[in-house]
Amino acid sequence: MPNSSETDQASKLDCPRPEYPRPILRRDRWLNLNGQWDFSADPDGVGVSEGWQNRTEWSSTITVPFAPNSSASGCAIDPNTQRVWYHHSFNNPGWQGEEVVLNIGACDFITTVFLNGHNVGSHTGGYSPIKINITGALQAGENHLVIAVKDSGSWQQPRGKQAGDTRWPIDYDAVIGIWQTVWLEPVQATHIEVLNYAFSMAENRLALTINLSDSFDGEVQVTVAKSKMLVNAQAPDTSKADTEEYFISQVSQQRSEIKTALHIPDPCLWSPDLPQLYDVTIVLVNNQGAEVDRVASYTGLREVAVAAGKLCLNGEAIYLRGVLDQGYFPEGWYTPVDDAAMVRDIKLAKQLGFNLVRKHQKAEDPRYLYWADQLGLMVWSEMPSGRIFSNNLVESLTQEWTALVRRDQAHPCVICWVPFNESWGVWHQSSRPQQRAFVDAIYHLTKTLDQTRPVVANDGWEYSSGDLWTLHLYDSASNDLSKRLTDLQNNPHATVSDDANSRVGTLPGADPTGLPILLTECGGVGFTAEQQQDEHFFYGTWPVNAQELMARIEDLGRGLSSLDALQGFVWTQLTDVQQEINGLLYFDRQPKLPVKQLQRIFAAIGEKSTD
């Protein structure tokens, strides 16, 4: 990883989130632009007509990359504001003979970038990465970067659980603007943009797909070496670590996508118990022998598959003990204030007995995925939903989901893709073929982009297509849970939800027979020491004290253990967030019950299921 010795890196004292923001594809030279920026809300939408891209005086400041109204941002605005502007000055880094790219990890929702008064590019989407070539507008000495952001309360855009123009009891305060790191880096016109790895246990073969910014003539050199750092587990014999290195060179002729593969004899496989990683270096050399690009990466050698009705990791059936994680943080709200906050959440999930987190309605920071790779926590990756079906939603969701799959597909911790949750935004699949076709199309698109993981097209109910059959059942007693799951096995078209919509487990004409069955939302037992029930959201009845809370969790744990058909579950949820108080932890990450007691319950569920 890049460190403070790099000459282009800003001082950590002045720069929040100083770590390199894209761990799966790293370059040595870069400039972090996080820190104090000028800022102004634009509630009346006058910034464009008044030429704020050339503005010299600003009304306030904000700490980037934290969204306004988070305490870490130091900036408060009217929560209904739908336009904001940022300004930051930086000195020309002096990267002569190279193109300079501005990267923004994520900015919600429509982003327009100006440099020295020139419009250099725009981006739509609140979660996918932004990359804009700013070379033509750079000037010697000081440069002025202005970023204008427009959001809305519309549910025609993917917004997850950010409250919009209507607010459900499970929605949270919305986000606007920059919420991930902003940085510059120099590249050649042809450079590496996206990586993807696929490991075959049968052949001990690591396949690598390298996507470039342009067609390339020359040589691609790939070196793979077993990482000496194993963060989360005692490594087996590491005496071979210094010699375990593999190299391949391949010629490219006018290709912008290069596929290559290496044989890895006696591989050490990645798993939650042993998250062994391999360091990867990729170098592009042109026909004149000059180095064009060099990136550092890493991979975990692991294989996720559905075989004989079982979900398998590295050829063996695995039971998923998951927890729902909304991805909100006390100080940074959508943004963890530092790596330690992410590491804390991952370690807490594991200490509670879980081997997986389902990141719910949020595409998480890539550094979270990096630490999940390092520490051995599987991740269920989900697209934030819209809730109004329209051409707008079809286009924006498809574009952003494609970008997110490409961004994250190299991370070994990600074991499943979920483009839709509980039919949000496609409410009428059962009666409107266009909506069902959209869900099925995104499933097939995702399988086209990535063949190495299962895809759940629509998580929770109304199964139409997908590699797993996943259900959401909230019941207050284990016997109710067992009966409802048995009824659904006997009749997959039976009702799952008891609300006015009466969602069915499977849509007409679809058949999940033989697929692994997972209960991907359950639990949801609400509790807080404050006995103000009317202000909170939770499932079932209110436990009167901690003892009753423990009894309820133990009862549901026994119920889950008795369901032999299940191959995993996801408990709702890891932490409280605002009014939703069904977390195992309070929002400040303090446990509601002793962690060891909860670990005893959750770690025991499913132990016999993979025998």
For 61-99, write each residue's pLDDT tens digit: 999 999 999 999 999 999 999 999 999 999 999 998 899
pLDDT band at 484 (very low <50, low <70, confident <90, very high): confident
The CATH code that applies to domain 305-604 is 3.20.20.80
Listed in order, the ranges of the chain carrying CATH 2.60.40.10 are 192-304
pLDDT band at 8 (very low <50, low <70, confident <90, very high): very low
The gap from C-alpha 71 to its chain's centroid, in whole angstroms, comes to 23
Range name among 104-113, 171-180, 412-421, 476-485 with the lowest pLDDT average: 476-485
pLDDT 10s digits, 466-483: 999 999 998 767 778 888
Q: What mean pLDDT is predicted for residues 196-201?
A: 98
pLDDT of residue 10: 40
Q: Work out the angle at residue 29's Cα, subtended by the Cα atoms of residues 26 and 33, and round it to the nearest 5 degrees.
A: 95
Could you tell me the pTM of the whole model?
0.94
pLDDT band at 238 (very low <50, low <70, confident <90, very high): very low
The Cα–Cα gap between 141 and 30 comes to 17
Assign a CATH topology to domain 192-304: Immunoglobulin-like (2.60.40)
Q: Where is pLDDT greater, at 549 or 4?
A: 549
Contact 145, 183 (CB under 8 A): no
Average pLDDT over the chain, rounded to whole?
A: 92
Q: Is the pLDDT of residue 126 over 90?
A: yes
pLDDT of residue 502: 79
- Does CATH number 3.40.50.2300 belong to domain 31-187? no
Return the amino acid letter for 215: S
pLDDT band at 369 (very low <50, low <70, confident <90, very high): very high
Burial of 491-516, coded b for 16+ CB within 10 Å and e otherwise, reads ebeebbbeeeeebbbbbeebebeebb
Q: Which residues pair with 123 in a beta bridge?
A: 111
- Cα radius of gyration (the chain): 24
Return the amino acid letter for 43: P
pLDDT of residue 14: 74
pLDDT of residue 408: 98
How far from 240 is each of 162, 222, 304, 546, CA to CA, in Å?
49, 20, 26, 50
How far from 394 is each of 158, 389, 390, 464, 609, CA to CA, in Å?
10, 7, 6, 18, 39
Range name among 180-194, 294-308, 531-545, 581-595 with the lowest pLDDT average: 531-545
pLDDT of residue 112: 98
Q: What mean pLDDT is predicted for residues 5-10?
A: 39
Cis peptide before 39 (omega within 30 of 0): no
The Cα–Cα gap between 505 and 485 comes to 10
Contact 271, 302 (CB under 8 A): yes
Listed in order, the ranges of the chain carrying CATH 3.20.20.80 are 305-604
Could you identify the residue written with the tokens 């470039």? 212
Q: Which residues pair with 187 in a beta bridge?
A: 99
pLDDT band at 231 (very low <50, low <70, confident <90, very high): low
Q: What mean pLDDT is predicted for residues 113-125?
A: 98
pLDDT of residue 608: 66
pLDDT of residue 598: 98
Q: Which residues pair with 9 in a beta bridge?
A: none
- Show Cβ contacts of residue 541 under 8 Å, excluding neighbours closer than 6 positions: 476
